[in-house]
A and B are shown apart, each in its own frame.
Chain A
Amino acid sequence: MAAMIEVKDLTKWYGRTLALDRATFAVQEGQIVGFLGPNGAGKTTALRILTGYLPATSGEARVAGRDVLMESLAVRAGIGYMPENVPLYMEMRVQEYLRFRAGLKGVPAKNRAAAVERVVERCWLKDMRRRLIGQLSKGFRQRVGLAEALVADPKVLILDEPTIGLDPAQIQETRRLIRQLGEKHTILLSSHILPEVERTCSHLVIIASGRIAATGSLEELKKGLTQGQRVILEVAPGKTGDGPAEMARALGQAAGAADVAREDAGDGWTRLRVSPAPGADPRAALYAAVAGRGWLLREMHTTAPTLEELYVQITAGDQAVPAARSTAA
């Protein structure tokens, strides 16, 4: 696998505002990567640098091995880009616009009609070919934008918030289309909604206030999260008369348990939160310890932070989640 998009130490200042802070990530060929972050995190800035619309203040960005600044035209020829809110010429007709863009992107004149036909079919625009873009609904305009990005059959697709402003049915349709496109193209799409990228993407790059907070495949990120796992038990002393301190001490000695926190759960019950040692599963040992001492157990479950919680943590400005940090494959 070759890296299709490589971003290294990319930094962008707008005047005195830092929009991107030494961002580093890579997108491998054939991946669908979700570029996730809250509004204003620097997603659009990064995408604009990749597409050659803006230069970076420092750092390096390469698409298909080409530097976006030094070989701007070649890079742009190999990218299909759909900017946020899909700007289009409202006074043009769908087919006319796609032909024009195909020409601009260097599709030879004799192939243009076929190229347009292909994307019109791909993006379900067949009945809209002769319509004025200005008279299309938001959903159809989005499709025209997607068709435009595809018309020169680029290796890389860069889509900025491709489903924003669509209704639920259209969102599903667009997701399906993007997944299909992922079979032939390398895709980097931005979004500020986690479930959105969870459903379409295989890999994530999470960005918050200009910094890359986490990157990796969905599984890797989820695996990283198990390190934040806790086992919760609610235990009562029964007839033994042991106090909460003794319970915490005993459970702390169970195989695989690292740390125990306790709190009163009322009516003589004690809630104990056990953090496992790295990579260990203490659940069986914990049960054995409770049963062995003759204590009563009324609840035992495991909690792990969800991706959603991780994302909220990151985007709330809490950067202290190194446990969930993982590197790209």
Chain B
Amino acid sequence: MEKILLLTRRELSAYFVSPIAYVAMALFLLLAGVFFAFPWFGAFRPGQPAQMQYVFSVMTFVLMLVVPALTMRSLAEERGSGTIETLLTAPVTDLEVVLAKFLGCWLFYLGMLAPTLLYAVALAVFGNPDFGPIVGGYVGLALLGAMYVAVGVLASSLTRAQVIAFVVAFFPLLVLWVLGPIGGSLPSPWRTILREAGTLAHYEDFNRGVIAAVHVAYFVTVTVYALFLTVKVLESRRWR
């Protein structure tokens, strides 16, 4: 456990000296701010309910670009620079390494979300928001982010080129995201199957202020599975 903390701390501090992390963070906050503040997007204007549903929905998409930009260096950089050899010959298990990679990035991600709490403050100052959906939305974003980060770390474990890690992380996330909308135009069994397999349907309830076990289970399952695969990828050097 102590080693996970040590590795996580190193991981986290590496983000704070990484230009890419700052660029991704700035991009995220800029877009979130634009979609929250500008009247023609409907989020923050007189006469409308004081809510963040719209900006949260937009974030689920923006994060598909931002999170892979954060995770792409995680293992690919270690592989590219050769530090993976010192890392994996230290007395730490592959699982500890993967968990630390995940936690480091996820904590950075949560830190990146934190400034958007000001939006909720702004709503409270200028309106009378219902805090249920806002809290639900943030819990949902934390879980969704965990899934995005886990998929990103998995992609990063597969290559030594960070650009490839980015693309490989983005595509499965995009596919999961569009499954629901695609299913909407299909006949009955497919519509339900694709809807339930996709990200959006599971996020929507959080956004309405409902924290349901099934949706939590969806994000946690995908996260754990992606991390499990990452450990297997690291182990694969032993049997390749």
Contact = CB atoms under 8 A, between A and B. Distances in A.
**A and B: interacting chains:** yes
A255 to B, nearest CB: 58
A59 interface: no
Given A54-B237, A104-B90, A91 B17 contact: yes
Contacts of B88: 52-53
B221 interface: no
Contact of B7 (A51, A55, A104): A104
Nearest to A53: B89
A105 B81 contact: no
A104 B238 contact: no
B178 interface: no
Interface in A53-87: 53-55, 73-74, 76-77, 79, 81, 83, 85, 87
A174 to B, nearest CB: 18
Contacts of A76: 89-91
Contact of B89 (A74, A81, A85, A103): A81
Contacts of B2: 103
A101 interface: yes
A306 B82 CA distance: 37
B18 A91 contact: yes
A106 interface: yes
B65 to A, nearest CB: 24
Interface string B1-35: 01100110010001001100000000000000000
Contacts of B14: 89, 91
Interface in B225-240: 237-239
10 contacts: A76-B91, A83-B89, A87-B84, A87-B85, A87-B86, A92-B10, A103-B2, A103-B3, A104-B92, A148-B86
Q: Report, nearest first, the 7 A-B pairs whose CB atoms are least far apart.
A: A87-B82, A77-B91, A87-B83, A76-B91, A51-B89, A91-B17, A104-B90
